[in-house]
Amino acid sequence: MKHAANVFLVLGLSLAAAFSQSPELRTFTNAQGKAVQAKLIGVDGPNVTLELATGQKYTFAITSLSAADQQYIKSAAVPAAGAPAAAAPAKYTFKPGPNDKLEPALVNEVIGQPLFGEDPLWTSSAEEVAARLKIPQESKTKTASSYRAYTKDDYQLFGAHPFSVAMYAENDKVTSFSLVFANKGDLFSAKGGGEMHFDKDTPPAEAEKIVKKAMDKDLTAIADTLTKKLGAPKEARFGEGPSGVGRLTVQRWDWRGHAILLAEAKGVYVGVQIVTTAFADAGGKVEDTTDKIIRAHALANLEKRENGDVVVGDIPMVDQGPKGYCAPATAERAMRHLGVPADMYILANAGNSGFGGGTSVSALLEGIAPQIRNKRRSFDAWKSELKIKDIAKYIDKGVPLMWCLYSTKEFNDTANKRTKERKATTNWASWKTKVTEEAATSSLAGDRESSHVVLIIGYNKDTNEIAFSDSWGEDYKERWITLPEAERVSQQYFYVVGF
């Protein structure tokens, strides 16, 4: 059984929750005053089952809802979900449009990939959609997952080449797509992902002209491709945050409950988002999630291991790819972990990222701080030495810290070797002696060419180690280093999205 808070938490974290009123949906409110649009599926003794318009079902105690909702459920007298008299599975409903007569095969022909099937994306299995698009999984938490591909040059969508194709899902139901075409980051990306992203070429002097030309080309190609099949677009405003950064003017095409949104962030990127038509109608605004729910969510994912490790688990992974987007990718992870919607490309826009990457962390966070606070989260920043007590202050609440450091080759070699050895360790007294001795003789040092941002996600007071997580994919989800070694490469700047 899923706890009552979960369905209301999903509302704050998922784009799929922003559905408009329909005859099959009703507003339900929990004890904390949080509201969702859902359909009553069934009652089984003290429990009720609700279903979002995406098809996601949640079962919890009737008493966790408002008095008015309890009375409604009592009068409705719907049989239990799964019982012989259960209602038929809910269908995704949407306002009919002129393009709906087009068959999925024809729309996929325009798109250039087998994206759509007979069922709407919003009721489709994310794993199945990802498989037919050949997009590998990027991240998976208890309720959310994401899939991302940094595509090859011959990969086409909407008549242009997307550098990044990302799909987001809740409980294996697709919630949205984010496609990024010509952009100032990927056009001058490094020679590889992960640790190799530091090895990059210097963008040419005419980089700005190159970006503009590529963006203009993609913008025209995508708009022409969609217009030929789906007609002229409507102009709309979409997104959250400052105008021109998070909130943009978009061109919109609708088909069978899917809104295809084409946007241009001047001089930064051309992007396409695919969301529900209801979410597009709402302008892309995601409901706030209360601190009480977020605190419970964060604490529920705190791992306390037998060896003394205290680690924040279930943090979404975002792979920055072969470009210097560590700051926006790390900020996205921290924000999404606490229920604040984010996208690294939009955050890079806020942070005035350079060509090929390189983001002013202070500019980035100053740009997004209002959005963080508008979503009822706090934002802390300070400069100091690394101290376990300062780290524990946040980790013990289930909150990771953004840490600025110099991620040198020597540092990564040490962290990789140490983490591998640590996984095979059973004698922690011996391990403490070993890492203490190695830290005392360490020759690690900073290097400004390797400036980087990661999440500190854990600590071990007894062994004097910290755990950190890079935005380089699942292989870099959790690595360990001693505090003295970490201090040798630390820039001593810290930022926290908290509550």
- pLDDT per position as a tens digit, 205-221: 777 888 899 999 999 99
The total of other beta-carbon atoms located within 10 Å of residue 102's CB is 16
pLDDT above 90 for 447? no
Is residue 297 scored above 90 in pLDDT?
Answer: no
Q: Nearest CA to 269 among 229, 325, 316?
A: 325
Return the higher-pLDDT residue of 21 and 362.
362
Contact residues for 447 (Cβ-Cβ < 8 A; gap 6+): 406, 408
Q: What is the pLDDT of residue 321?
A: 82
Tell which CATH classification among 2.60.40.10, 3.90.70.10, 3.30.750.80, 1.20.140.10 matches the domain 291-498: 3.90.70.10
Superfamily of domain 4-76, CATH level 4: SLA1 homology domain 1 (2.30.30.700)
Average of pLDDT values for 23-31? Answer: 68
Residue ranges of the domains in the chain?
4-76, 104-281, 291-498
Question: Per-residue pLDDT for 416 more than 50?
Answer: yes
The listed range with the strongest mean pLDDT (286-300, 340-354, 405-419) is: 405-419
Which residues have C-beta within 8 Å of that of residue 102, sequence separation ≥ 6?
Answer: 229, 230, 255
Better pLDDT: 54 or 12: 54
Look up tokens 């080759």; give the residue.
Answer: 409
Residue 477 DSSP one-character state: S
- Report the C-alpha gap between 488 and 242 in whole angstroms: 37
Residue-level pLDDT at 143: 79
